[in-house]
Structure 1
Amino acid sequence: MRILFVADPLSTFKTHKDSTFAMMREAARRGHSLHHCGPEDLSWVTGGKVSAHTQALTLTGRSGAGVKDWYTVAGEATEALAAFDAVIMRKDPPFDSEYFYATHLLGRAEAEGARVFNSPQALRDHPEKLAILEFPQFTSPTLVTRSAAAIRAFHAEHRDIILKPLDGMGGMGIFRVREDGLNLGSIIETLNRDGAQTVMVQRYVPEIVQGDKRVLVIGGQPVPYCLARIPQGSEIRGNLAAGGKGVAQPLSDSDRAIAEALGPVLAARGLLLVGLDVIGDRLTEINVTSPTCFQEITDQTGFDVAACFIDALEAAVAAR
């Protein structure tokens, strides 16, 4: 297959832990050809198809912390996305207006015959924090609002809460307010901006000390291991970007129950790869843009997540 990865600049890849790199490496091992572009390289003109200026890549076999020469550019071309066997959208958040526009271009490419994973429509329909609202049976008590008064009332009811912006990633902008309400007003002002921004508020789940678990679902089926991202020191966030320690472990019964309930539903909507965030037995986020933790799980357990993903990709392409 000819596979086009729509992703961040190659120079930013941290190959010792990057999941997109793991996908590329496994695809190349199987003899598939690799191509790369960024969302900024997508274009459309009247009478034509959605196209991109792309680079054909050859992997050098080098990887690891600080390694930059992990690929060479074998050639450049401008091609219609429909000319590739698979287009994998792996641009990292934030899900801003430019990301939104890119999904519309990718959606048009789909109509022209391109095979895009994850589905552009599904990316738009599943904002990563708000997607949990469809599955309240699995979530901690949650409030989504622009009302400062509603946030205060939620705190008065639940006493220990987490507040976060809807467009954050990697643990950015997450605050905990305990029963004493210390700094609640300041935090509301910071996140809510006098009612201009919507805030998500959730009852604190104390099992966070055991890790914020990333449960990967590929082709509707859960990967048998998750990565528990455990907060360090006095930190409340387990995100690896915020200094959390990643510990791979088998899925618990509740992890598997959540993944098996959501997996087929989300796969049917065109979400080949999903990352569920679970604390204790509570679902906190549904990640669909560029779920990570492939390499950490594989390195610690021996389960080849990238191979599982490429298996699912090959099957999805063959089924179309």
Structure 2
Amino acid sequence: MKIAFIVDPLHRLKAYKDSSVAMMRAAVARGHEVFAIGRESLGARDGRIFASAVALQITHDDHDWHRAGPAEQYDLTAFDAILMRQDPPFDAEYVAATWLLERASRQGARVYNDPRAIRDHSEKVSIVEFPQHTPTTLVARHAGDIQAFIDELGDTILKPLDGMGGSGIFRVRADDPNRNAIIETLTAFGTRTIMAQQYLPAISEGDKRVLLIGGEVMPYSLARIPMAGETRGNLAAGGRGVAMPLTDAERAVAEALAPTLWARGLLIVGLDMIGGRLTEINVTSPTCMVEIAQQTGFDIAARVIEALEKQG
């Protein structure tokens, strides 16, 4: 198979922990050809969708992990599978890329995650479809609604809808003297919608990343455990990653969601859970595969390639 990865610039990928690199290595190990595409090269001409791609030779040296051939222009249907792994922000250019990739899919290209599903699944707001599995949650931008939510629950988490890596997340208690300023900042004085959730004390045990691959629930999570005195477990915010077998509660939620999400073309999904409650559904470029493999020996990246082979 010819497998193309739409990724951030190759020199920015940290091979020692990057899930996309792990998938590239798994693909090569199974005899497939690997290509890299920069999102900015996507375009359309006379109805056909094209991109500039480079063939990659992949090594196991994390400091010198690839060799890239010359860039060539390809019709996207020339690839057997295309993995959209561009990191957020989910801005207008990201949306434009999903439009082009959706058109390529209709022309026969196999794109994962499905471009329309990525566009339709806000990684924050998508959880409102599954309220039975989530903490008490509010999505709003009016200060009065958010203030009432904080007063009702007493201890909450506020976060922007377009953040990643723990950026812009605040824990706000009812007696917090800064709550007005935090709400004004996050909502830009009522012009931006945010998410508020019930604070879950189980965060001390980790913000768990549970991975779904092709509708199958992977048996291990990565618990992102916050530093002392920190609310956020995100690795980018200094959290410590510890691989753990799924709890019964985590597996029940994952098994409930997996068929629905896979039916929408979401090959790789990262569910975020705290205390067995669903807090986010990550579909743009879910990670944590490398840490789980290093700590347990369970190779989730290889499972992704196997799932692509089954689709072929």
TM superposition score normalised by structure 1: 0.96
Residue by residue over 1:79-137, the C-alpha shift from the partner in whole angstroms, topping out at 9 and shown as x without a partner, is: 10011000100001111111011000000101111000000010011110001000000
The one-letter code of the counterpart of 2:153 is: H
Give the SS at the match of 1:156: helix
How far apart are the structure 2 equivalents of 1:249 and 1:277?
14
**What's 2:295 paired with?**
300
Give the SS at the match of 1:99: helix
Give the SS at the match of 1:44: strand
Mapped pair 1:103 → 2:95: no
Give the SS at the match of 1:154: helix
**What's 1:21 paired with?**
21
Give the SS at the match of 1:224: strand
Contact 1:57 1:75 in 2 (8 A): no
Of 285, 294, 297, the residue aligned with 1:290 is 285
Question: CA shift at 1:172, angstroms?
Answer: 0.2
How far apart are the structure 2 equivalents of 1:156 and 1:149?
10
Contact 2:25 2:59 in 1 (8 A): no
Give the SS at the match of 2:48: coil
Give the SS at the match of 1:223: strand
**What's 1:199 paired with?**
194
**What's 1:134 paired with?**
129
Question: CA shift at 1:254, angstroms?
Answer: 0.6
Of 133, 140, 148, the residue aligned with 1:145 is 140
Mapped pair 1:179 → 2:174: yes
Of 209, 227, 231, the residue aligned with 2:226 is 231
**What's 1:34 paired with?**
34
Within 5 Å, give how 1:85-124 maps onto structure 2.
85-124=80-119
Question: CA shift at 1:48, angstroms?
Answer: 4.3
**What's 1:75 paired with?**
70
**What's 2:53 paired with?**
54
How far apart are the structure 2 equivalents of 1:17 and 1:167?
23
How far apart are the structure 1 equivalents of 2:177 and 2:194?
18
How far apart are the structure 1 equivalents of 2:88 and 2:143?
26
The one-letter code of the counterpart of 1:120 is: P
**What's 2:262 paired with?**
267
Question: CA shift at 1:182, angstroms?
Answer: 2.5
Give the SS at the match of 1:52: strand
How far apart are the structure 1 equivalents of 2:17 and 2:267?
21
Give the SS at the match of 1:194: coil
Give the SS at the match of 2:70: strand
Residue by residue over 1:239-294, the C-alpha shift from the partner in whole angstroms, topping out at 9 and shown as x without a partner, is: 00000000000000010001000000000000011000000021000000000000
Contact 1:86 1:116 in 2 (8 A): yes
Contact 1:52 1:79 in 2 (8 A): yes
How far apart are the structure 2 equivalents of 1:301 and 1:60?
22
Number of matched pairs: 312
**What's 2:214 paired with?**
219
- Structure 2: where are the runs of 5+ without partners? none
Question: CA shift at 1:233, angstroms?
Answer: 1.4
How far apart are the structure 2 equivalents of 1:7 and 1:179?
42
Contact 1:231 1:245 in 2 (8 A): yes
**What's 2:44 paired with?**
44
Residue by residue over 1:22-51, the C-alpha shift from the partner in whole angstroms, topping out at 9 and shown as x without a partner, is: 000000111111111111010102x24100
Residue by residue over 1:155-208, the C-alpha shift from the partner in whole angstroms, topping out at 9 and shown as x without a partner, is: 110000000000000000000012313210010111011111001000100100
How far apart are the structure 2 equivalents of 1:182 and 1:24?
49
How far apart are the structure 2 equivalents of 1:181 and 1:60?
51
Question: CA shift at 1:217, angstroms?
Answer: 0.5
Give the SS at the match of 2:189: coil
Question: CA shift at 1:60, angstroms?
Answer: 2.9
